Amino acid sequence: MSYRTTEIAMAAGLVVLTVLGWFQIRDLPVDARMFPAVLLGVIGVLSCCMVIRGVIGRAAHLRAQSAQQWSFAISAPRMVLAFALLGAYFVVLPFVGFFTSSFVFIMLVGWIAGYRKPVPLALAAAGFCAFVYMVFVALFDRPLPPEFFLTLFATNL
pLDDT, tens only, 1-45: 666 777 788 888 899 999 999 998 888 888 888 888 999 999 999
Mean pLDDT on 70-95: 81
Pair (141, 86) in one structural domain: yes
Residue 71 lies in a domain: no
Pair (105, 139) in one structural domain: yes
Cβ neighbours of residue 7 closer than 8 Å, sequence gap 6 or more: 50, 53, 54
Give me the torsion for CA of 23, 89, 107, 135, rounded to 10°. 40
Cβ neighbours of residue 18 closer than 8 Å, sequence gap 6 or more: 40, 43, 44, 47
**Would the pLDDT of 64 be above 70?**
no
Domain range enclosing 21: 3-66
Pair (33, 60) in one structural domain: yes
Cβ neighbours of residue 5 closer than 8 Å, sequence gap 6 or more: none
**Which pTM was predicted?**
0.60
**Would the pLDDT of 97 be above 80?**
yes
pLDDT digits (tens, 9 = 90+) for 110-154: 999 888 899 999 999 999 999 988 988 888 888 777 787 766 666
Residue 132 lies in a domain: yes
Last residue of a domain, one of 26, 42, 66: 66
Residue 142 lies in a domain: yes
Residue positions counted in the chain? 157
Cβ neighbours of residue 78 closer than 8 Å, sequence gap 6 or more: 112, 113
Pair (84, 62) in one structural domain: no
Q: How many separate domains does the chain show?
A: 2
Pair (92, 29) in one structural domain: no
Pair (54, 86) in one structural domain: no
Pair (61, 84) in one structural domain: no
Task: Please say whether the beta carbons of 99 and 147 come within 8 A.
Answer: yes
H/E stretch holding 128: helix 118-132
